[in-house]
């Protein structure tokens, strides 16, 4: 058990792991402000490099070629993915990376079981229990993340089974995974001697059952609930790493994995609160299915005012304060650069302009902020729901682009609505509201939006990018 | 390390994580998630040990696959967060 550094006392290894753990925590602390966040990310990466380096040098590496090949292949693929993927594809990329972390944890726990068996040692209950947990969480994370990424990428469709059948299947495979785990832990002596090895396959049964479970868990979940799923899988990937730390008796795995588990869980809770729904409801409830398709015509009939870019620009010329509310439609249309240009122009003309960003707008936590940052919008202009809501009454113009449910006043007024109680942006308190959307079709919740029929609201139909670009062009003409 | 010592670490780390992460603003939630994601690639340490120990062919193969997956997670996660954060700090200078 000796590598290059193997002659040193074990305390050296443990101490280096402690330094790495401190770097991870300090890195996360630096993430609390955009100015220090880049440094924080580098600090965290430094901790990782240190931890990997000391591990490679410490342990006896019998197959250095295999290890080097793995590191090279993984590194190359990681760089390639990070460099080549478009900003719009960011949610699925983050989901995919998550899955790889979880999958690796499940495999490590399995390989460790094989290793320990190979040395002829009895499997301890602690080892088998933690390995079983790591295997379940890791496999669910891997397959759940693949499905989530596939759905976000549009290559995986909706669940082929009915919700009830889905629940039954989830229960069945969870039961199977837990039973396989119990077999691994207890290893009842029904096969006679030898008592150890026949139970190893039960680990792979567990992995297989948890994999199917992961698929069934995520397949029925729809697009707008993806921020919750992505955050939750993020948490799982951390917990899988932490449990693998228990299997291997590795302190830094436990600390780092737990930090990630906490981070993902906090984001999950924030996302659920922002929709006024429980995690259970997001994961198992589904939305909109039985909503009586309450006559959309009844609400919209004769109430919809359509506007044009020219008219919106005329409105903009007389405003002191503009709030822009972006949604997933902006991400799909890649409209963030046009929006940012519009904001820049308004800013130059002395208009007070800010963004009102709903926590669940988009497909992952902070999605809108990341897109706008890409388009060079200063982060001071991005306001959270609680900050921006009190300001709408002093706002002259709100431009909603590609958002729907997050500005639906029904959340406040109709207790029977599927989005009842969800905190929304109360844009109709502003003097006028322009809603840029491709059509009147409902959002993810499947319900009509009475905002569109309000007297101070008008619709600017069209693709978000084209519409915003049209506003930019007209505004330039008018103000130059 | 006993199980209880490991559990102690787990519980304390959970509290530290809670305290630190609740202070991170919504603006930075995407880079936080991809950065945290990269940290969860810490499981690479375990992968390195099992891939390198080479006790059986199966363990080595599993270790190799685990090393590849965890390295993608680590390298890709940190790079993506870096690119995103570079955009945030650029926006902040304006």
SS (H, E, C) chain A: CCCCCCCCCHHHHHHHHHHHHHHHHHHHHHCCCHHHHHHHHHHHHHHHHHHHHHHHHHCCCCCHHHHHHHHHHHHHHHHHHHHHCCHHHHHHHHHHHHHHHHHHHHHHHHHHHHHHHHCCCCCCHHHHHHHHHHHHHHHHHHHHHHHHHHHHHCCCCCCCCCHHHHHHHHHHHHHHHHHHHHHHHHCCCCCCCCCCHHHHHHHHHHHHHHHHHHHHHHCCCCHHHHHHHHHHHHHHHHHHHHHHHHHHCCHHHHHHHHHHHHHHHHHHHHHHHCCCCCHHHHHHHCCCCCCCCCCHHHHHCCCCCECCHHHHHHHHHCCCEEEEEECHHHHHHCCHHHHHHHHHHHHHCCCEEEEEECCCCCCCCCHHHHHHHHCCCCHHHEEEHHHHHHHHHHCCEEEEECCCHHHCCHHHHCCCCCCCCCCCCCHHHCCEEEEEECCCCCCCCCCCCHHHHCCCEEEEECCHHHHHHHHHHHHHHHHC
Q: Would you call A254 and B35 a contact, using CB atoms and an 8 Å cutoff?
A: no
Q: What is the mean pLDDT of residues B41-61?
A: 85
The tokens describing A175, both together, are: 């039961």
Model pLDDT, residue A212: 94
Q: How many domains does chain B have?
A: 1
Distance from CA of A124 to the nearest CA of B (A): 11
Residue spans per domain, chain A: 1-84, 99-285, 296-479
Closest-CA residue in chain B for A251? B6
A405 included as an active-site residue: yes
Q: Is the pLDDT of residue A88 over 70?
A: yes
**Candidate from B1, B23, B59 with C-beta closest to A115:** B59
**What Rg do the C-alpha atoms of chain B give, in angstroms?**
17
Residue B33 domain boundaries: 27-93
Is residue A266 within 8 A of residue A288, CB to CB? The reply is no
Exposed / middle / buried, residue A414 (Cβ in 10 Å: 0-12, 13-18, 19+): middle
Model pLDDT, residue A193: 53
What is the DSSP secondary structure assignment for residue B24, as one 8-state letter?
Answer: S
A343 alpha carbon, distance to own chain's centre: 27
- As a dihedral over the C-alpha atoms of residue A345, residue A348, residue A351, residue A355, rounded to 10 degrees, the angle is 60
Model confidence pLDDT, tens digit, residues A35-74: 889 999 999 999 999 999 999 888 877 778 888 999 999 9
Q: What is the mean pLDDT of residues A167-181?
A: 91
**Candidate from A56, A252, A366 with C-beta closest to B48:** A56
Q: What is the mean pLDDT of residues A220-249?
A: 89
Exposed / middle / buried, residue A371 (Cβ in 10 Å: 0-12, 13-18, 19+): buried
**Candidate from A37, A71, A256 with C-beta closest to B39:** A256
Return the number of other C-beta atoms located less than 10 Å from residue A318's C-beta. 9
Model pLDDT, residue B92: 47
Model pLDDT, residue A2: 59
**Candidate from A35, A63, A97 with C-beta closest to B77:** A97
Tell me what ipTM this predicted complex has. 0.93
Q: What is the mean pLDDT of residues A324-336?
A: 90
Q: What are phi and psi of A479, to 5 degrees?
A: -95, -15
Q: Which residues from B are below 8 Å from A244, CB to CB?
A: 43, 46
Q: Would you call A32 and B23 a contact, using CB atoms and an 8 Å cutoff?
A: yes
Q: How far apart are CA A249 and CA A185, in angstroms?
A: 18
The tokens describing A274, both together, are: 């922002």
**Candidate from A52, A250, A267 with C-beta closest to B29:** A267
Reported as a pLDDT band with limits 50, 70 and 90, residue A188 is: low
* Active-site option among A249, A405, A455, A463: A405
Residue B60 lies in a domain: yes
Model pLDDT, residue B9: 93
Residue A377: cis peptide before it, omega within 30 degrees of 0: no
Q: Could you tell me how many residues make up chain A?
A: 480
Model pLDDT, residue A227: 84
Q: How far apart are CA A163 and CA A177, in angstroms?
A: 21
Distance from CA of A108 to the nearest CA of B (A): 6
* Helices (H) then strands (E): counts for chain B: 4, 0
What is the DSSP secondary structure assignment for residue B1, as one 8-state letter?
Answer: -
Q: Would you call B31 and A370 a contact, using CB atoms and an 8 Å cutoff?
A: yes
Q: Is the pLDDT of residue A415 over 70?
A: yes
Disruptive mutation site among A16, A48, A97, A103 for chain B (greatest number of B CBs within 10 Å): A97
Model pLDDT, residue A189: 59
Residue B56 lies in a domain: yes
Dihedral over Cα of A206, A208, A210, A216: its sign:
negative
Helix B29-40 with B57-93: angle, nearest 10 deg: 160
Closest-CA residue in chain A for B58? A111
B residues 14..53 contacting A (CB < 8 A): 14, 16-18, 20-53
Model pLDDT, residue B91: 52
pTM of the model: 0.87
Average pLDDT, chain B: 87
Distance from CA of A113 to the nearest CA of B (A): 9
Closest-CA residue in chain B for A114? B59
Closest-CA residue in chain B for A269? B22
Residue B2 lies in a domain: no
Exposed / middle / buried, residue B11 (Cβ in 10 Å: 0-12, 13-18, 19+): exposed
Average pLDDT, chain A: 86
Disruptive mutation site among B24, B29, B40, B41 for chain A (greatest number of A CBs within 10 Å): B40
Q: Which residues from A are below 8 Å from B57, CB to CB?
A: none
Model confidence pLDDT, tens digit, residues A94-148: 999 999 999 999 999 998 888 887 777 777 888 889 999 999 999 999 999 999 9
Q: How far apart are CA B70 and CA A166, in angstroms?
A: 31
Q: How far apart are CA B88 and CA A366, in angstroms?
A: 12
Reported as a pLDDT band with limits 50, 70 and 90, residue B93 is: very low
Q: Would you call B18 and A262 a contact, using CB atoms and an 8 Å cutoff?
A: yes
Q: Would you call B30 and A241 a contact, using CB atoms and an 8 Å cutoff?
A: no
According to DSSP, the residues that pair with A354 across neighbouring strands are A323
What is the DSSP secondary structure assignment for residue B56, as one 8-state letter?
Answer: S
Q: Which residues from A are below 8 Å from B4, CB to CB?
A: none
Model confidence pLDDT, tens digit, residues A261-294: 999 999 999 888 888 888 888 777 655 444 445 5
Q: How far apart are CA A340 and CA B84, in angstroms?
A: 16
Q: Which one is predicted more confidently, A159 or B81?
A: B81
Model pLDDT, residue A292: 46
Q: Would you call B6 and A245 a contact, using CB atoms and an 8 Å cutoff?
A: yes
**Candidate from B25, B55, B84 with C-beta closest to A118:** B55
Q: Which fold has domain A296-479?
A: Rossmann fold (3.40.50)
């Amino acid at each position: 058990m000796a590598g290059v550094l193997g002659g040193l006392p074990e305390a050296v290894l443990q101490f280096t792991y402690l330094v790495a753990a401190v770097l991870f925590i300090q890195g996360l602390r630096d993430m609390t402000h955009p100015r220090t966040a880049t440094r924080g990310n580098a600090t965290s990466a430094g901790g990782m490099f240190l931890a990997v380096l000391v591990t490679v040098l410490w342990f006896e590496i019998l197959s250095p070629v295999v290890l080097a090949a793995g590191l090279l292949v993984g590194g190359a693929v990681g760089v390639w993915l990070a460099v080549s993927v478009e900003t719009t594809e960011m949610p699925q990329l983050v989901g995919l990376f998550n899955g790889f972390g979880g999958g690796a944890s499940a495999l490590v726990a399995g390989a460790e079981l094989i290793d320990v068996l190979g040395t002829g040692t009895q499997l301890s209950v602690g080892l088998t229990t933690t390995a079983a947990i790591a295997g379940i969480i890791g496999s669910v994370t891997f397959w759940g993340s693949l499905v989530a990424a596939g759905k976000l990428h549009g290559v995986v469709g909706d669940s082929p089974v009915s919700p009830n059948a889905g629940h039954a299947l989830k229960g069945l495979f969870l039961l199977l995974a837990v039973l396989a785990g119990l077999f691994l832990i207890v290893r009842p002596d029904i096969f006679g001697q030898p008592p150890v090895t026949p139970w190893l396959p039960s680990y792979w049964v567990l992995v297989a059952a948890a994999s199917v479970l992961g698929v069934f868990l995520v397949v029925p979940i729809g697009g707008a609930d993806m921020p919750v799923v992505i955050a939750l899988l993020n948490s799982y990937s951390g917990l899988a790493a932490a449990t693998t730390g228990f299997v291997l008796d590795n302190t830094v795995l436990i600390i780092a994995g737990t930090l990630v588990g906490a981070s993902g869980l906090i984001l999950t809770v924030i996302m659920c609160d922002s929709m006024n729904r429980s995690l259970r409801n997001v994961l198992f409830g589904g939305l909109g299915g039985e909503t009586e398709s309450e006559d959309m015509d009844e609400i919209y009939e004769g109430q919809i005012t359509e506007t044009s870019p020219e008219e919106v620009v005329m409105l903009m010329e007389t405003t002191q304060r503009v709030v822009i509310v972006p949604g997933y439609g902006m991400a799909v249309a890649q409209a963030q650069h046009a929006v940012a240009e519009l904001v820049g122009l308004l800013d130059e003309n002395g208009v007070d302009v800010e963004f009102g960003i709903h926590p669940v707008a988009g497909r992952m936590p902070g999605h809108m902020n990341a897109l706008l940052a890409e388009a060079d919008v200063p982060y001071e202009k991005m306001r959270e729901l609680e900050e921006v809501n009190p300001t709408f009454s002093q706002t002259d113009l709100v431009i909603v682009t590609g958002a729907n449910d997050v500005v639906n006043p029904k959340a406040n007024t109709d207790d029977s609505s599927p989005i009842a109680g969800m905190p929304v942006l109360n844009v109709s308190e502003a003097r006028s509201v322009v809603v840029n959307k491709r059509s009147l079709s409902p959002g993810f919740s499947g319900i009509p939006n009475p905002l569109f029929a309000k007297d101070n609201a008008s619709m600017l139909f069209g693709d978000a990018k084209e519409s915003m670009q049209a506003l930019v062009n007209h505004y330039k003409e008018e103000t130059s | 390390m006993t199980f209880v010592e490991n559990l102690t670490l787990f519980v304390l780390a959970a509290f530290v994580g809670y305290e630190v992460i609740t202070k991170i603003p919504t603006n930075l939630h995407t880079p936080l998630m991809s950065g945290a994601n990269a940290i969860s690639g810490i499981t690479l340490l375990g992968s390195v040990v099992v891939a390198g120990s080479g006790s059986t062919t199966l363990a080595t193969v599993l270790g190799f696959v685990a090393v590849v997956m965890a390295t993608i997670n680590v390298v890709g996660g940190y790079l993506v967060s870096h690119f995103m954060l570079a955009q945030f700090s650029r926006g902040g200078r304006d």
